[in-house]
A and B are shown apart, each in its own frame.
Chain A
């Protein structure tokens, strides 16, 4: 089954404790992206990747890191999480060759930073 898999689904952590949210897709998609969803703000792009070893900042990249060492994986890293990073996070992927490719989303990771 074609899918984008995120782990974990739920995560509670404390300020400053490094964490990684994993994302994997099995559709051989070139493009992958991370979004955060906050009430009243919709989805905002954090980082995206056009292909292996090619990543770039989205609209809200501060406090986040990503890497794309393999085509299928695109982990999101919070080196020193803060309470304002409490949010619902989504990973998404698409073919990416043109901008009309629809995004396929994972089921989300709800992060709480205390």
Chain B
């Protein structure tokens, strides 16, 4: 079985400061990893994904994440945040498997609060 842990439920940060949102996963097989963002009163939208290849993945809005297999982590980073980045961020994991159920497992979310 796979699982995702987002240790930080809330991360307050000042505008233009760097931020890292932590995500650790557990799986006995290889994984696909995703970060989704949820802006207020909206559904989730894909920020970035790791499927294979380069461990550094770049996404939308200047975010990036690094897959670290030895530490089973997929932390999300941005060098300089904006007020508009205030949102809830979800890490999610799935396993490569074709023709079977898609069991995407979400973390509990991290609320990023950017202030002036």
Q: Which A positions have Cβ atoms within 8 angstroms of B?
A: 4, 31, 33, 35, 40-45, 48, 50, 56, 90, 92, 94, 96-103, 105-108
Contact = CB atoms under 8 A, between A and B. Distances in A.
A108 B42 contact: yes
A100 B108 contact: no
Contacts of A101: 102
By DSSP majority rule, is chain B's interface helix, strand, loop, or mixed? loop
B98 A42 contact: no
A105 B94 CA distance: 17
Interface string B70-107: 00000000000000000000100011111101111011
B95 A42 contact: no
Nearest to B97: A99
Interface in B26-82: 32, 34, 36, 41-46, 49, 51
Q: Most A CB atoms within 10 A — which of B102, B104, B108?
A: B102
